[in-house]
Amino acid sequence: MECHIGVISGDGIGPEIVAEAKKVLDKAGEKYGHSFTYQDILMGGCSIDATGVPLTDEAIAAAKASDAVLMGSIGGNTQTSPWYKLAPELRPEAGLLKLRKSLNLFANLRPAYLYEELKEACPLRDDIIGDGFDMMIMRELTGGLYFGARKTEMVDGVITATDTLTYNENEIRRIAKRGFDIAMKRRKKVTSVDKANVLDSSRLWRKVVEEVAKDYPEVTYEHMLVDNCAMQLVKDPKQFDVILTENMFGDILSDEASMVTGSIGMLSSASLNDTKFGLYEPSGGSAPDIAGKGIANPIATILSAAMMLRYTFDLDKEADTIEAAVKQVLKDGYRTIDIMPQEDAKKAYVTQVGTSQMGDLICERI
Ligand code: IPM
Ligand code: MG
């Protein structure tokens, strides 16, 4: 199969982690007879430096012309980088939001899975971890607070800022369907997360989710308030299979869920629309503090590339192989610094490696 992949390396650790994902894709391509071609696309701070804006129309066109886009990370230190002195719509993150919206990537899948081998990196107690956990956060990605009207103005001599949270029933229905579809392929449980005790948008969310649920009699579903969900994620993460939620809640809960799995450096993601196209990126940020040091964990990006093979190209066997290679490398005791065990006694059993060595070790196991 010929696969044309747009590549947004981005800023910070982005280029380092993307290079490892490409290495792993090429290795899988070699083994199974696929060819991957890559086209670099500028987005984020590097695009601001080169063009003055975080995402150009040419970049959007290039992304649209690809079968899928693999992304690293964008942005810099929000307190020190000159990018954050620019108007909000010219900052790195605005590029990502524009890309998500332009490509209609409304469904964001973020799997949070605790690897047996990384139990020590999990901050929760052993009795809470139990046999581990495996959940999928289905986050709505093109609506809500991120895309509502916003303004900052003087009201009666007082500076006042407003953001608007809007959802219509169609936006809720299409993401809810995706959530139930994915639950059918998993443990058939959906937890729909909202704030229906306060927000109108959440009350509509609940109503539409209930309608959609009727078409999925095999799926057990429940509603949970977002504050309670934040608590349940650390109290008993095993209870979750699919967490279905709106944009902002999903942003916050997915960071929390990732930390429960040990490190955000392990968390992959897929952003999908109605076609086979997808944008695949690690859930973590650009980590400017460690950029260029060769110590960033490339696993989330490598697992995102595996999601790309699965969802855009229907190459399940190839995706399985990459995921198995990641598991094996962890089993063999290799760790980047973010997933090193805390206690000295345990450190004796593992080997600390850098970004590109981790990529090589995963390739060897494919
Ligand atoms: C994420 C990120 C983005 C978001 C930022 C970079 C705009 O935090 O993908 O979770 O809030 O969606
Ligand atoms: Mg986030």
> How many CA atoms within 13 Å lie on the side-chain side of 136?
24
Ligand 1 atom 11: residue of nearest CA: 251
Domains of the chain, residue spans: 1-103+277-366, 108-272
H-state helical runs in the chain: 14-32, 45-51, 57-65, 92-102, 126-129, 169-184, 200-213, 226-235, 247-260, 299-311, 316-331, 344-347, 355-364
108-272 shares the fold of 1-103+277-366 = yes
Pocket test for ligand 1, best of 93, 108, 259 (most atoms within 8 A of CB): 93
Can you spell out the DSSP letters for 79-137? TT-GGGGS-GGGSHHHHHHHHHHHTT--EEEEEEE--GGGGGG--S-HHHHTT--EEEE
Fold of 108-272: Isopropylmalate Dehydrogenase (3.40.718)
Reference 61, options 100, 103, 89; nearest CA is 103
- Residue 246 CA to residue 250 CA, distance in Å, equals 6
- Residue 352 CA to residue 340 CA, distance in Å, equals 7
Ligand 1 atom 10: residue of nearest CA: 251
Atom of ligand 1 nearest to the CA of 96: 7
Active site members:
146, 195, 227, 251, 255
**Position of tokens 């690293």?**
72
CA of 340 from ligand 1 middle (Å) equals 26
Is 98 annotated in a binding site? The answer is no
- Provide the residues around ligand 2 (an ion) whose CB is within 5 A: 251
Per-residue pLDDT of the chain (366 residues; tens, 9 = 90+): 999 999 999 999 999 999 999 999 999 999 999 999 999 999 999 999 999 999 999 999 999 999 999 999 999 999 999 999 999 999 999 999 999 999 999 999 999 999 888 888 888 999 999 888 999 999 999 999 999 999 999 999 999 999 999 999 999 999 999 999 999 999 999 999 999 999 999 999 999 999 999 999 999 999 999 999 999 999 999 999 999 999 999 999 998 998 888 777 888 999 999 999 999 999 888 999 999 999 999 999 999 999 999 999 999 999 999 999 999 999 999 999 988 887 777 778 899 999 999 999 999 999
Is 104 annotated in a binding site? The answer is no
| Class level of CATH domain 1-103+277-366 | alpha beta
Ligand 1 site residues (CB inside 6 A) read 93, 96, 251, 283
- Burial class, 35, CB count within 10 angstroms (exposed 0-12 / middle 13-18 / buried 19+): exposed
CB 302 within 8 A of CB 20: yes
Is 296 annotated in a binding site? The answer is yes
